[in-house]
Structure 1
């Protein structure tokens, strides 16, 4: 396998190939499940296309808690199968599939009752560790420890003395969700899949009672094309019902959107070296280390408004601050919040009104011939969801191909950047010396690009000015913006600042200070005119302003109205009136 750049040229070649070929599988949706489906199908020897209406991971898959975890709280619900499955997937990603993007993170679980809670919670965490080891992929994850109150506060001085009587300390996994999702699609492309973002499905093609492909619109050029495929996989997450409706059938699965809101605050505002997991009256609340920041989340509330841009209201922010401040010596205020993001979880709809109790498990169905639908699930188990979806598609292909479709092999297929990562990590001091960059900078790049770091360092060697940090976002090099556009499929400024990097949530100005510089760098790579650069900057500034305004609104309805004040960055001549996106 050789790395493939998700360049503008590659995107056009992918669209041309999908228009001219009769694919085995067409995947709708460029989130973590869609990317996983494309990779699974391609590595089984099938011809594959993937289309995404916006950017890779632009929906749910860039707005999670950024955890690759087993789901400790599901043990309390007695969902042992889901936890065991997720723990195996966590270990696989940590050890083999994506060690450059997934790493261990420690959590402190404060105990508030003596004796019985330590036994009860300790038994659950011990079982969690045992299931991890039993999966065969948890050998390197440290076991949990019991701590006294003094020991816990030594680890987390930020905790109030009366907030706990003791604690448990255990480990889970953390992932850069947006980059991981992008790497899935890029790895699928390296195995031959045709991948195109900014390509919206506007209809499904039918022949009799069978779906035989999709009609799509290239939102960059306005061109429409028909993509024919023996099997279509609908992996569009919270848009599952809308995409399914193109088939003219009432789907067998119904997805309900649950809004999760997260806050980002500077690392120095909470003194401590471990994450926290806190019980709330509804669910759990995480305080997660994230580089020079903390992520605090999440809410879990029903959402029935715009799925394109879920909005966080002031009441969401107040809820999170109120709950975390109950245990902190120095309370957080709104002024401490650097960034806010809201995402929608695609839950399988049930009768329970509380979204926190709806199923995180997934389902796969083929209510319409030629159309496989995969719905529900959780980020960590994306690979299992993808395997099940391709298994269903393979069953449909059994009468259309003259060969047997092999079983899934993705358990043994590392993502791009994984091979050789540990060796390069061991050589990080050497890389720092030869590149002229600091060791900390090299570690940052290795955590984001893995063994593809050489492509970044080549850019810096060719253009030393790209080795400088972005103005106002010095965690990131100028080269990373260029690389996002040339190799990682970033088509617009928003793609680079919100997903290829995390500047939009990691700086108090939300990336507005570096927007002009980043647009200049992207424009050089993508051939933008000055007018296009100005439009990109203007759109980004309006997006930030709309998000800031929405976060001052008292409820979902007013927050949604404020956020919708900034439209998507789509050229005026190719705007579409369809409400449904892939």
Structure 2
């Protein structure tokens, strides 16, 4: 009788419902099994669009195309957000300084995108943050700056966040007590927003996978397929194994950022624009080194310098200098670090010293080349071009407007596809983890009690995973040890490492320490002291033996040593030489010729 009951319609429906529920839970998960399936799919299926580049723009293109009903593949040579998209100022901002450059359209567009992120698309990842604009000149500066901020607020800067507030010197010092009293005569507080750029990019890519895109990292384009004069796909190499396969597609999108020109040369097509790399360096210091309740924006001789609240830290930057060396591993120099310290110390009552620095990171902005040789004056606008039949390139822009850039690229792709394409709908598509987030915030105390965690810890997890928190905590079922903090990196739980390897596509130690978490910049040891624990946890998921775990630790340690060494060098050439000496985590990666 029991056997007959198991085969009854009710039992079968229950089984199917459970299967569908499990499939829904797995949707968008970049699991090891999904990685293997995706390699097979790349070689056996034909796609409407193959997107090359796993930064925020490429991930955005994949999501936009997938939600229009296109068959999409996204390939990335290294890790999601391994380039520019993990090394930004971590702001979703309108670009207040672009008002002075009369780029009103860019500011309006960016503010609309910021609003969408805060309210609909990614409220779990993008958060408001206050800034103080200190005033140092009497008579003219306050009305001049107020007029700019009024325009900013009118364009959308005061949607979902408070508008500008004028402060006396005493009021400004209450908001930012760390300032020298003679560094300002008053101030204006305004709001922007921030996000963990690497986590946001990874979530965009996972959302694309949720809607059917094939997303595969450690998959490098090494050649292009052609039919007559038309690009008909790409040849890719799995840089973990060296295996290669041809991927056929109606259209290829070059969304490789600072590698745009290199990929263009590989394709044999002449580009319609050129991209110049501008290096931006940031430093990270402990929160207690600067006593303040808001961020700070300072004018410099070239641009602006931000002091940005970041959890228990401050991020301070950035520089803006031309970079013509290794695109994969831009190196910060001693001069870069001194530049940041010198400028911020001009206004701080207690100066920062090099020993205060917990982390340093350098990223490259992909700027469209123009008449100016000064990278701080090159356009932050983006450009889309059909560079050859079957191939579209997109470059430039800024992180905040990635969704608009992606929509423009897919509009260009649609011209190469048969039939009529749907319009972009990504302004209505929440990222994974957004649905149900606000309700879970209200239920944080109950959720914490259920799992034996402090409510603060649960809120921290919600701001990293949103409603995917259930999926994260499920990894600790029967393993209460996974709900303990990572030794020497207590801001993160051990279960987050397991989840990163099991669901977020992390393949190497550096993927977890540098991007799935930000341990590499948030702790003075830069991940070295917890590398053994993280490697063990990753190995449980990825099947590493002791030798493989030891090799991952060796490679990561060499990377940190090389970065530290480069940061003591006087110039870019010397710093690049030291940083480039570190081994690659992905053994079969090919550098452009």
* Bucket of the pairwise TM-score, normalised by the shorter protein: over 0.9
Return the TM-score normalized by structure 1: 0.97
> What displacement does 1:220 show?
1.4
Is the aligned partner of 1:5 residue 2:35? no
- Which residue number in structure 2 is paired with residue 442 of structure 1? 458
> What displacement does 1:577 show?
4.4
TM-aligned CA distance change 1:10 to 1:119, over 3 Å: same
Deviation string, structure 1 residues 348-402 (Cα, Å, up to 9, x no partner): 01121110000000000012100000010000000000000000000111xxx2x
> What displacement does 1:404 show?
1.7
Give the whole-Å Cα distance in 2 for the aligned partners of 1:351 and 1:414: 39
| DSSP 3-state at the match of 1:396 | coil
Q: Is the 8 A contact 1:202 1:578 kept in 2?
A: no
Give the whole-Å Cα distance in 2 for the aligned partners of 1:367 and 1:479: 45
Q: How does 1:42-441 map to 2 (within 5 A)?
A: 42-132=66-156, 139-397=159-417, 401=418, 403-441=419-457
- Which residue number in structure 1 is paired with residue 523 of structure 2? 507
Return the TM-score normalized by structure 2: 0.95
> What displacement does 1:5 show?
1.2
| DSSP 3-state at the match of 2:415 | helix
| DSSP 3-state at the match of 2:496 | helix
Deviation string, structure 1 residues 167-214 (Cα, Å, up to 9, x no partner): 000000101100000001100000000010000000111111110000
- Which residue number in structure 1 is paired with residue 592 of structure 2? 579
| DSSP 3-state at the match of 1:513 | helix
Is the aligned partner of 1:33 residue 2:49? no
Give the whole-Å Cα distance in 2 for the aligned partners of 1:442 and 1:277: 31
> What displacement does 1:18 show?
1.6
Q: Is the 8 A contact 2:77 2:589 kept in 1?
A: no
> What displacement does 1:576 show?
4.6
Deviation string, structure 1 residues 33-60 (Cα, Å, up to 9, x no partner): 0000000000000000000000000000
Query: Which runs of 4 or more aligned residues in structure 1 lie more than 6 Å from their structure 2 counterparts after TM superposition?
Result: none
Q: Is the 8 A contact 2:566 2:579 kept in 1?
A: yes
| DSSP 3-state at the match of 1:115 | coil
Give the whole-Å Cα distance in 2 for the aligned partners of 1:196 and 1:146: 49
Task: Extract unaligned runs of 5+ from structure 2.
Answer: 1-23
| DSSP 3-state at the match of 1:441 | helix
Deviation string, structure 1 residues 92-136 (Cα, Å, up to 9, x no partner): 001000001100000000000112100000110111111106xxx
> What displacement does 1:14 show?
1.3
Give the whole-Å Cα distance in 2 for the aligned partners of 1:38 and 1:505: 29
> What displacement does 1:247 show?
2.0
Give the whole-Å Cα distance in 1 for the aligned partners of 2:505 and 2:478: 21
Give the whole-Å Cα distance in 1 for the aligned partners of 2:586 and 2:266: 23
How many residues in Structure 1 have an aligned counterpart in Structure 2? 569
Give the whole-Å Cα distance in 2 for the aligned partners of 1:427 and 1:26: 41
Deviation string, structure 1 residues 233-253 (Cα, Å, up to 9, x no partner): 000000000001122122111
Moved more, 257-266 or 244-253: 244-253
TM-aligned CA distance change 1:577 to 1:60, over 3 Å: closer
Q: How does 1:454-473 map to 2 (within 5 A)?
A: 454-473=470-489
Give the whole-Å Cα distance in 2 for the aligned partners of 1:522 and 1:299: 35
Deviation string, structure 1 residues 479-521 (Cα, Å, up to 9, x no partner): 0001000000000000000000000000000010000000000
- Structure with higher Rg: it is 2
Give the whole-Å Cα distance in 2 for the aligned partners of 1:355 and 1:363: 17
| DSSP 3-state at the match of 2:529 | coil
| DSSP 3-state at the match of 1:40 | helix
Give the whole-Å Cα distance in 2 for the aligned partners of 1:494 and 1:517: 13
Give the whole-Å Cα distance in 1 for the aligned partners of 2:591 and 2:329: 15
